[in-house]
Amino acid sequence: MERIRVGIVGGTGYGGIELMRLLLSHPQAMLHCLVSRSEAGRRVDAVFPHLRGHTDLMFEAEETADLTSCDLVFFATPNGVAMRQVPVLLENGVRVIDLAADFRLRDPDLWARWYGEPHACPELLQDVVYGLPELNRDALRDARLVANPGCYPTAVILAFLPLLRSGAAPLGALIADAKSGVSGAGRRAVVGNLLAELSENFKAYGVSGHRHLPEIKQALDAVAGQTRELLFVPHVVPMIRGIHATCYAQVAPDIDVQALYEETYQREPFVDVLPQGSHPETASVRGVNLCRIALHRQSESGHVIVLSVIDNLVKGAAGQAVQNMNLMFGLPEDTGLRYAPVVP
């Protein structure tokens, strides 16, 4: 089989860097073109010396890049960029995975409200496949345009999915208290993300409303078949990578949640349900495409507590995008994604 010819638009953010790492060692894909406005004309390994010895590619400007000859283009751009470039690629038969938020919400009005501008191609929104394989594996195989899920949504949806699908949590609000390393904020020059500001510090942010809230709610409501109150509070942890979602739900008293989760995920290659009472660590998934989940109940409580960890740049972004690529091109789903994390 010929290798998949891959393009990346936005190769200099953390999502793009991670995509390059994964694709440079992927046995069935080849990087064909890398687009970066800011670094066009420079060798990739001059911009990112950690890639010396792994690629001779150069970043190209959007105008000169040969994207239409790719089989697949990943967008790892800021929100609002992909929606302006995707239609012409699709018309040329190029398939697309967008790692940004442009195609995640089905309702263009909701999108406009949360992202502050009208959507550029609302007519495409109904054909998008939301790229969470654990929800939409079959649809992904034939997808032309995939909306890769947000990092928080990946961790939170996988945490609640078995409860909602089975009807085991019929009552009350769902609460997702989520914590993320700072790479989730992207590779942008912002005073608030300096080491001197964030290290030895912890805080919540966006508590009154975060863009991942409607994305999570859309997926969970679809699974549950009804709308539910959902509280979502993100925090920033003084570390680079990793998301830990601590999720709370009221459950029917007779439910064996451990069995429910093990059964739901037993055939999933990238969801690992730990023994009851475990405490998954973000370090245990650092650099790998995996969600680890553990379940707890406190004495006499009607609630279950679900702990869910991922690497925000892998299962929460680039790794999941490669998993989706594998599905779209008929490859074994774990191609290029099977290796152990670097610990410690």
The residue count for binding a copy of itself (CB under 8 A) is 90
- Cα 90 to Cα 287: distance, rounded to the nearest angstrom: 31
Q: How far apart are the C-alpha atoms of 72 and 95, rounded to whole Å?
A: 5
Tell me: does residue 189 bind a copy of itself (CB under 8 A).
yes
Cβ closest to a copy of itself, residue 135 vs residue 307: 307
Whole-angstrom Cα distance, residue 133 to residue 309? Answer: 17
User: Is-cis flag, bond preceding 344, omega within 30?
Assistant: yes
Query: Which residue out of 33, 70, 121, 151 is catalytically annotated?
Result: 151
The answer to whether 188 contacts a copy of itself (rule: CB under 8 A) is: yes
**190 touches a copy of itself by CB under 8 A:** yes
Asked if 204 is part of the footprint of a copy of itself (rule: CB under 8 A), the reply reads: yes
Q: Could you say whether residue 262 binds a copy of itself (CB under 8 A)? A: no
Backbone angles phi, psi at 173, to 5 degrees: -75, 150
Whether residue 151 lies in the annotated active site:
yes
- State the virtual CA torsion across 325, 330, 331, 333 in degrees, nearest 10: 70
| 256 lies in the site for a copy of itself, by CB under 8 A | no
Residues 203 and 147: their CA atoms lie apart, in Å, by 29
Residues within window 68-87 making contact with a copy of itself, judged by CB under 8 A: none
Q: Is 17 in the site for a copy of itself (CB under 8 A)?
A: yes
Q: What are phi and psi of 67, to 5 degrees?
A: -70, -30
Of 139 and 185, which has the nearer Cβ to a copy of itself?
185
Of 169, 165, 333, 171, which Cα lies nearest the Cα of 264? 165
> Cβ 207 to a copy of itself, closest distance in Å?
4
Contact 5, 32 (CB under 8 A): yes
Contact between 54 and a copy of itself by CB under 8 A: the answer reads yes
- Among 120, 121, 239, 252, contact with a copy of itself (rule: CB under 8 A): 239
Report the site for a copy of itself in 275-294 (rule: CB under 8 A).
Answer: 277-287, 290, 292
Nearer to a copy of itself, 122 or 170 (CB): 170
Q: Per rule CB under 8 A, is residue 267 in the interface with a copy of itself? A: no
Among 61, 88, 207, 259, binds a copy of itself (CB under 8 A): 207
| Interaction between residue 183 and a copy of itself (CB under 8 A) | yes
Cα 88-90-93 angle, rounded to 5 deg: 115
Q: Which of 229, 254, 267, 330 is close enough to bind a copy of itself by CB under 8 A? A: 229
Q: State the DSSP code for 199.
A: T
21: contact with a copy of itself by CB under 8 A: yes
According to the binding rule CB under 8 A, does residue 253 interact with a copy of itself?
no
Nearer to a copy of itself, 246 or 324 (CB): 246
Nearest residue (CB) to a copy of itself, 61 versus 194: 194
- Residues of 185-196 as b/e, b for ≥16 C-beta within 10 angstroms? beeeeeeeeeee
Asked whether position 320 contacts a copy of itself by CB under 8 A, the answer is no
The partner residues of 211 in beta bridges, in order of sequence, read: none
Q: In whole angstroms, what is the distance from residue 117 CA to residue 238 CA? A: 32
Distance CA 221, CA 229 (A): 10
- Active site positions, annotated: 151
